Homo-oligomer: A and B are copies of this chain.
Amino acid sequence: MNNFTFCNPTKIIFGRGMIARLAREIPADKKIMVTFGGGSVRRNGVYEQVTAALAGRDYIEFWGIEPNPKVETLRCAVEQCRAEGVDFLLAVGGGSVLDGTKLIASAVHYDGDAWELTLTGRAKGRVLPFASVMTLPATGSEMNNGAVISNATTAEKYAFYTTYPQFSILDPGVTFSLPPYQVACGIADSFVHVIEQYLTATGVSPLMDRWSEGIMQTLVEVAPKVRENQNDYDAMATYMLSATMALNGFVAMGVEQDWATHMIGHELTALHGLTHGHTLVIVLPALMDVMREQKGAKICQMGERVFGITEGSTEERIDRTIEATEAFFRSLGLTTRLSDEGIGEETIAEIERRFTKRSVGLGERGNIDGKVARKILEKAL
């Protein structure tokens, strides 16, 4: 097992009717900015619940944080926070709203441009306290310190790290009305978050392997129930809890990590606007195939413990596990090939060029460069 430190101070408030607890979780003297996305919370009752819970409190609203939150939008919120003396941020929405809010919280007291801060990768100095009411289980942002920020001008997308949410409220009831495509992408995103912390070497951190496999098994079991009936509270609660646990450090203790699927996927989003979770299901099966020599033992362990694949030679078990993974993604209603989305050689060449220019070396051994990324993307055609 590798040495590690772990600390996750976020308070999770989970269950029916929990949004009503909002006011008591935010100190009374705070000037609050509530951040929103495009307006779906006006249709699913969340906006009413949040404003009812904040009745009598000093808050302003900021609307319009888009999927793959753009620094161009976030700069406006930063200016408004400075102008109005905001000292607490509450994100109400999905992972993009919260990711954007993390950058806002970090940039208000930063003496420079928000994109410049994003490019440094980490918050510096004072960060405003922030919290969330999470409406779309997927990114795990509600219980981690990461964010992914896009730049529309340069068509770039990078990870950024800051402090943890003070609290996150998760009421599975607010997920009933989500678009099924978003739910499918959320399940896929959660599954691949686990994979990035799991699909490396065997035997490094056996308990974490079990916990990662536990999340994957749970997602595989619950996905058909969610697909069948998004009003099934227990199914949506299980999906929501799995999404949070998939990327909060709980399955990362002492393990190696990969993250190449995410880095390649981010490029597909940056270049084509494809939803994040959807990019992952296109990249992952191809990556498993190209990296089969390095990852074979762990792919076989995953095949056995997650999909019950116990027969055949090592190569056959690897093939069957990759097939089962892609079949699971297809069962969510997602396409799993670049060609399904009209993406081809031009994009592959651009991603190879970007990775080569940045001297990128991805994956747990740093050996996925522009050339290997090309192989993976060609396999994903």
Contacts and interface: CB of A to CB of B under 8 A. Distances in A.
A135 to B, nearest CB: 17
Interface stretch (A96-104, A125-133, A216-224, A320-328): A216-224
A48 to B, nearest CB: 20
Interface stretch (A3-11, A26-34, A366-374): A3-11
B15 A6 contact: no
Contact of A14 (B3, B10, B11, B18): B3
Interface in A213-248: 213-215, 217-218, 221-222, 233-234, 237-238, 241-242, 245
A18 B2 CA distance: 12
Given A12-B5, A206-B221, A221-B206, A241 B214 contact: no
Copies in the complex: 2
23 contacts: A1-B14, A1-B172, A1-B233, A3-B15, A4-B14, A6-B14, A7-B10, A7-B11, A7-B12, A9-B9, A12-B253, A14-B254, A206-B218, A206-B222, A207-B215, A207-B241, A207-B245, A210-B211, A210-B213, A210-B214, A213-B214, A237-B254, A241-B253
A217 B213 CA distance: 12
A63 B245 CA distance: 40
A234 B1 contact: yes
A42 interface: no
A259 B245 CA distance: 25
A205 interface: yes
Interface of A: 1-18, 167, 172, 203, 205-207, 210-211, 213-215, 217-218, 221-222, 233-234, 237-238, 241-242, 245, 250, 253-254
Contact of A1 (B3, B13, B15, B210): B15
Contacts of A12: 4-7, 253
A1 B238 contact: yes
A11 B15 contact: no
A172 B207 CA distance: 15
Contacts of A205: 238, 241
Given A210-B218, A215-B210, A238-B207, A5 B14 contact: yes
A210 B217 contact: yes
Contacts of A9: 7, 9
Nearest to A1: B237
